[in-house]
């Protein structure tokens, strides 16, 4: 905003009207003279004509502008800056402008105000000053490095755009820290432009600006915010008439101080399928459940959408749905075993839907003729599978070689070493250790699991309190085992004997359980923990991964090997070079990504839904005093006193630094010079020999 040190001089602008009025108002006056001898002459009507006309309007405009500029120069104009002032001391400055481009800056007109604040900060730079422009969200990007060219800095601001990322202050401040440490300027400053969300700040001990650096925060937006967001989607699956039905429930947060009634719409493959009305009290969350729908095909695209508000990015939530594929499990029991030998195991695998298990049982004799190559091919095509050998010794010869190749190519095998010592007491090339004679603990009341590795995927589910207790199970018999050096012991009995051991071979793995999964050698199958434990063991062996309905901006996507093409939500296509191994792609946009096989051999594209991190939807403000004290290391009271002492430059200081009057005066004098030259040319006498006849 422009102000004037001597505004009374502006009254002189009224003098601009004087020459115009002289030219426009002066006319020939009617003056009647009585003359008796002409009383009988015919009376001629009086006609008023202008004595002067303005022939060169543009020349008059140049003169008026010149006079106006000269008068304004005497009024001493200056521009008021909204950013905090620097110290009035001399010397060049090194300024780092940090501009927040996280998606919360898209609330209302915050982004426009933030860029305007960045331009204002650039406008304060003097001839000797240098500045850097950094855009930040989850990470920090250096757009312009230490330049005195204001045009380059402004171009960086104009081309900046909002991202779908969250706010994280440490990366941007650490980058500013590095730039300022390398600067030799006597005065250094960081201008931090943001909405200052509380969720984006995490204090770190190593984040400290160099001594003498001034931090100037520019808060964009006020505390009056009203926002609704879809914070998540859950899917409940159930079998129905030989197919699968899904019930979708969306969680919606009302982050405002008023109760709201919203229409939540469910879109399937881009078309609105259902709409539900939901009432949410102020500052709370609620859930809306849509009617069940039958899953017809894989890679179905779904979106839960709210009416657009001031922050539109969190009003939509994308996901994908596919009919569940069962994990195939082949259970081989010992020859001559009763039909009830593996009852607990097969019944446990028959329960559950995430995942579901397709269990096929056979005797040990069928293992030699089992088509392991077909089983491996199913696993390679993401149709997971695993083999369970219940009291069955590993085959030798050609069948053993086929089993080894199955594991090396990614297959999983679980060996249950029970059955009264039917295992040969010798080392196998696939087993994770050498099996010894059975240990009888019946007389001592049974052994317990003393050590469990809860960091392993098999036991990770049970590491939380009240999530499952293995200590209640009693083991009356189990095999001694000497684990190999390349094997990992996942659980031990209370006497130190390994209970569950894993060995990785090639791309696959073998798990050895030194007891049984029935109630002959232990009572584990009678405990509540048995069913989830079996599910975790088999899922881990099969390489099963729960289908991911959505991912979050900032995560990485694993792209399968081969010749692939990546299609981003905005439609941009990227050709990925052929690779023998999988690659990762960082997800930076909100929407649906597609991964296509460039050879055309795939059945269809792999679709991945990506959403923004809903933690950014919380617009609760951060305490700037705490932020500045943590970054600068200055005590809060000292910093506040210094801030008040130099909060803004006085009008006199701003006018003196800007010196706009010099430019206005020079321009006004230049216009007067141009006026003089042009006027002289237009007023030259008419050339000899020419007669100028005035117009009638």
Which of the four pLDDT bands, split at 50, 70 and 90, describes residue 610?
very high
Cβ(519)–Cβ(526) below 8 Å: yes
Strands 433-440 and 412-416: unpaired
**Mean pLDDT value of segment 443-452:** 91
Q: Where are the beta strands (DSSP E) in 354-421?
A: 357-363, 385-390, 412-416
Q: What is the pLDDT of residue 86?
A: 42
**Mean pLDDT value of segment 124-142:** 92
Domain covering 93-224+620-648 assigned CATH 3.40.50.410 in the classification? yes
Which of the four pLDDT bands, split at 50, 70 and 90, describes residue 592?
very high
Q: What is the pLDDT of residue 33?
A: 57
Quick check: 456 pLDDT over 80? yes
Which of the four pLDDT bands, split at 50, 70 and 90, describes residue 385?
confident
Which of the four pLDDT bands, split at 50, 70 and 90, describes residue 83?
very low
**Mean pLDDT value of segment 538-557:** 88
Neighbours of 361 (CB within 10 A): 17
Q: What is the pLDDT of residue 189?
A: 92
What residues are paired with 528 via a beta bridge? none
Q: What is the pLDDT of residue 414?
A: 94
Which of the four pLDDT bands, split at 50, 70 and 90, describes residue 38?
low
Residue 422, burial from CB neighbour count under 10 angstroms (0-12, 13-18, 19+): middle
Q: Which of 596, 692, 662 is nearest to 73 (CA)?
A: 662
- pTM here is 0.65
Cα separation, 247 vs 239, whole angstroms: 11
Quick check: 210 pLDDT over 90? no
Cβ(177)–Cβ(208) below 8 Å: yes
The tokens for 45 are: 């009507």
Q: What is the pLDDT of residue 581?
A: 65
For the chain, domain boundaries = 2-80+665-682, 93-224+620-648, 227-316, 327-542, 551-615
Q: What is the pLDDT of residue 85?
A: 43
Sign (positive or negative) of CA dihedral 444, 445, 446, 447 = negative
Cα separation, 658 vs 74, whole angstroms: 14
Q: What is the pLDDT of residue 642?
A: 45
Quick check: 473 pLDDT over 90? yes
Cα separation, 485 vs 298, whole angstroms: 43
Neighbours of 477 (CB within 10 A): 20
Q: For 327-542, which CATH class?
A: alpha beta
Q: Is the backbone peptide bond immediately before 568 cis, with ω within 30 degrees of 0?
A: no
Q: What is the pLDDT of residue 427?
A: 60
Quick check: 375 pLDDT over 70? no
Which of the four pLDDT bands, split at 50, 70 and 90, describes residue 140?
very high
CATH match for 551-615 among 2.60.40, 3.40.220, 3.30.460, 1.20.1740? 2.60.40
Tell which wins on pLDDT, 517 or 640: 517
Which stretch of DSSP H or E encloses residue 343? helix 343-350
459: phi then psi, degrees, rounded to nearest 5: -105, 0
The tokens for 289 are: 């459940």
Q: What is the pLDDT of residue 649?
A: 56
Q: What is the pLDDT of residue 695?
A: 39
Q: What is the pLDDT of residue 185?
A: 87
For helices 343-350 and 530-542, give the axis angle rounded to 10 degrees: 80
Most confident stretch, 74-88, 180-194, 644-658: 180-194
Q: What is the pLDDT of residue 638?
A: 47
Quick check: 53 pLDDT over 70? no
Which of the four pLDDT bands, split at 50, 70 and 90, describes residue 299?
confident
**Mean pLDDT value of segment 252-262:** 90
Same fold, 227-316 and 327-542: no
Cα separation, 114 vs 100, whole angstroms: 8
Which of the four pLDDT bands, split at 50, 70 and 90, describes residue 121?
very high
Which of the four pLDDT bands, split at 50, 70 and 90, describes residue 468?
confident
Q: What is the pLDDT of residue 288?
A: 94
Convert the pLDDT of each residue in 317-371 to its tens digit: 999 998 877 888 999 888 766 666 788 999 999 887 778 888 888 887 788 777 7
Cα separation, 506 vs 499, whole angstroms: 23
What is 227-316's CATH topology?
Immunoglobulin-like (2.60.40)
Range in 86-90, 400-404, 618-622 the model is least confident about: 86-90
Tell which wins on pLDDT, 108 or 59: 108
**Mean pLDDT value of segment 157-161:** 94
**Mean pLDDT value of segment 565-577:** 87
Q: Is 210 left (phi over 0), alpha (psi -120 to 50) or beta?
A: beta
Which of the four pLDDT bands, split at 50, 70 and 90, describes residue 136?
very high
Mean of the per-residue pLDDT values for the chain? 82
Q: Which of 157, 173, 168 is nearest to 118 (CA)?
A: 157
Is residue 642 classed as helix, strand or coil in its secondary structure?
helix
Cβ(414)–Cβ(404) below 8 Å: no
SS (H, E, C) 649-694: CCHHHHHHHHCHHHHHHHHHHHHHHHHHHHHHHHCCCCCCCCCCCC
Quick check: 505 pLDDT over 80? yes
Q: What is the pLDDT of residue 641?
A: 46
Which of the four pLDDT bands, split at 50, 70 and 90, describes residue 618?
confident
Which of the four pLDDT bands, split at 50, 70 and 90, describes residue 693?
very low
Most confident stretch, 377-381, 511-515, 621-625: 511-515
Cβ(141)–Cβ(564) below 8 Å: no
Quick check: 176 pLDDT over 70? yes
Is residue 317 classed as helix, strand or coil in its secondary structure?
strand
Quick check: 555 pLDDT over 50? yes
The secondary structure of residue 535, as a DSSP letter, is: H
Q: What is the pLDDT of residue 582?
A: 66
**Mean pLDDT value of segment 2-13:** 75
Range in 72-81, 503-512, 568-577 the model is least confident about: 72-81
Contacts of 27 (CB under 8 A, 6+ apart): 48, 50, 51
Which of the four pLDDT bands, split at 50, 70 and 90, describes residue 40?
low
**Mean pLDDT value of segment 161-169:** 93
Quick check: 100 pLDDT over 90? yes
Convert the pLDDT of each residue in 626-685 to its tens digit: 788 888 776 544 444 444 444 445 677 667 766 777 888 888 888 888 878 877 777 666
Cα separation, 619 vs 224, whole angstroms: 10
DSSP 199-244: GG----TT--PPTTPEEEEEE-S-S---EEEEEEEEEEEEEETTEE
């Amino acid at each position: 905003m422009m102000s004037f040190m001597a505004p009374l001089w502006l009254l002189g602008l009224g003098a601009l009207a004087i020459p115009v009025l002289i030219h426009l108002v002066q006319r020939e006056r009617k003056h009647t003279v009585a003359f008796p001898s002409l009383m009988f002459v015919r009376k001629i009507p009086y006609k008023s004509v202008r004595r002067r006309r303005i022939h060169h309007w543009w020349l008059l405009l140049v003169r008026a502008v010149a006079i106006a500029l000269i008068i304004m120069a005497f009024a001493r104009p200056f521009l008021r800056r909204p950013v905090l002032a620097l110290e009035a001391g001399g010397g060049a400055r090194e300024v780092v402008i940090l501009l927040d481009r996280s998606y919360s800056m898209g609330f209302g007109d915050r982004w426009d105000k933030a860029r305007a604040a960045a331009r204002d900060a650039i406008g304060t730079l003097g001839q000797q000053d240098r500045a850097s422009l950094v855009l930040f969200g989850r990470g920090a990007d250096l757009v312009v490095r230490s330049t005195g060219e204001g045009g380059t800095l402004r171009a960086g601001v104009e081309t900046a755009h909002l991202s779908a990322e969250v706010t994280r202050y440490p990366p941007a401040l650490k980058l500013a820290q590095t730039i300022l440490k390398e600067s030799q300027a006597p005065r250094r400053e960081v201008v931090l432009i943001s909405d200052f969300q509380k969720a984006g700040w995490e204090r770190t001990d190593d984040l400290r600006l160099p001594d003498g650096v001034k931090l100037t925060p520019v808060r964009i937006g006020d505390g009056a915010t009203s926002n609704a967001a879809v914070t998540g989607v859950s899917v409940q699956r159930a079998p129905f008439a030989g197919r699968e039905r899904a019930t979708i429930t969306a969680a919606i947060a009302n982050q405002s101080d008023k109760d709201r009634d919203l229409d939540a719409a469910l879109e399937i493959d881009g078309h609105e399928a259902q709409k539900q009305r939901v009432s949410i009290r102020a500052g709370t969350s609620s859930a809306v459940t849509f009617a069940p729908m039958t899953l017809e095909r894989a890679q179905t695209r779904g979106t839960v959408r709210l009416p657009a508000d001031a922050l539109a990015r969190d009003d939509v939530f994308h996901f994908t749905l596919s009919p569940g594929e069962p994990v195939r499990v082949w259970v081989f029991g010992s020859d001559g075993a009763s039909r009830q030998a593996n009852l607990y195991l097969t019944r446990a695998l028959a329960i559950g839907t995430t995942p579901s298990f397709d269990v096929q049982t056979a005797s040990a004799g069928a293992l030699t003729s089992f088509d392991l190559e077909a089983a491996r091919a199913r696993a390679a095509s993401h149709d997971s599978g695993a083999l369970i050998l219940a009291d069955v010794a590993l085959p030798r010869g050609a069948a053993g070689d086929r089993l080894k190749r199955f594991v090396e190519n990614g297959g999983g095998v679980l060996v249950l070493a029970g059955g009264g010592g039917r295992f040969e007491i010798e080392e196998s090339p696939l087993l994770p250790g050498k099996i010894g004679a059975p240990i009888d603990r019946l007389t001592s009341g049974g052994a317990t699991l003393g050590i469990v590795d809860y960091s392993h995927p098999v036991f990770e589910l049970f590491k939380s309190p009240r999530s499952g207790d293995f200590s209640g199970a009693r083991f009356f018999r189990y095999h001694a085992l000497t684990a190999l050096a390349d094997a990992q012991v996942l659980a031990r009995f209370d006497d130190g004997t390994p209970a569950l051991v894993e060995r990785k071979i090639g791309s696959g793995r073998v798990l050895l359980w030194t007891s049984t999964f029935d109630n002959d050698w232990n009572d584990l199958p009678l405990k509540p923990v048995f069913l989830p434990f079996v599910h975790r063991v088999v899922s881990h062996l099969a390489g099963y991964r729960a289908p991911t309905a959505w991912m979050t901006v900032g995560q990485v996507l694993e792209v399968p090997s081969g010749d692939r093409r990546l299609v981003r939500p905005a439609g941009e296509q990227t050709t990925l070079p052929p690779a023998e191994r999988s690659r990762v792609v960082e997800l930076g946009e909100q929407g649906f990504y597609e991964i296509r096989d460039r050879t055309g051999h795939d059945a269809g594209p792999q679709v991945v839904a990506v959403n923004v991190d809903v933690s950014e939807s919380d617009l609760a403000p951060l305490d700037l005093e705490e932020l500045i004290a943590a970054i600068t290391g200055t005590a809060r009271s000292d910093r506040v006193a210094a801030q008040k002492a130099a909060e803004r430059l006085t009008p006199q200081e701003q006018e003196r630094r800007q010196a706009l009057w010099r430019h206005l005066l020079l321009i006004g004098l230049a216009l007067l010079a141009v006026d003089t030259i042009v006027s002289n040319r237009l007023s030259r006498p008419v050339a000899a020999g020419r007669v100028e006849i005035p117009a009638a």
